[in-house]
Amino acid sequence: VTVDDASPSLFAPSLLAALGVLRARGLRISAARRLILDALYRADRPLSAHDLAGRISADLASVYRNLGLLEEVGLVRRVRLGGGPGLYSLASAAHYEFVSCERCGAFEAIHPKRLEGVRALIEQEFGYRANFGQFPIVGVCADCEAVAPTATRSQ
């Protein structure tokens, strides 16, 4: 996972605050921009442009164009996960961490709080404070495991 840090991140705690940022920059608050931001504020995980287009019933090209602008402004951040599609979240949202399947490419965004137990265990055993935001925890997802169990499981 690499986070594109080319643009500055802006802290906008609410949709209203984000719209205020656009207004302050003299940018038009189009229906598409409002809907994209609203969807991102409601989402509990980063979304792909495809997800967003589906949620707000907009065409993909328009979603990409507006995401590009929101990223430039600093309201939206793009995360890349291996070869998967780019994912977008609010720049001010919690930094997600990820688990990813090495076989089918499935991934899940996880709130850092849910990984505290794992982090504590690793810290206790190895003295390292683990961070899964930059690189995901890579393994085999439940679906792939059901189809063909990994050999290490039985050892």
Q: Which residues bind Zn ion (CB under 5 A)?
A: 101, 103-104, 106, 141, 144
Identify whether the C-beta of residue 95 lies closer than 8 Å to the C-beta of residue 46.
no
In the complex, minimum distance from the CB of residue 145 to Zn ion, in angstroms, rounded to a whole number: 8
Q: Which lies closer to Zn ion via its Cβ, residue 27 or residue 141?
A: 141
Residue 102 Cβ vs Zn ion, minimum distance, rounded to whole Å: 8
* Cβ 80 to Zn ion shortest distance, Å: 19
**What are the angstrom distances between the C-alpha of 7 and each of 97, 104, 108, 118, 135?**
20, 31, 25, 32, 20
Nearer to Zn ion, 55 or 103 (CB): 103
Nearest to 137 by CA among 114, 146, 94, 148: 114
Evaluate the CA torsion angle 7, 13, 19, 21 in order and state its sign. negative
Q: What is the DSSP string of 116-147?
A: HHHHHHHHHHHS-----SSSPEEE--HHHHHH
Taking the complex as a whole, how short is the minimal distance between the CB of residue 108 and Zn ion, in angstroms? 11
**Cα–Cα dist 107/36, whole Å:** 22
In the complex with Zn ion, which residue's Cβ is closer, 88 or 136?
136
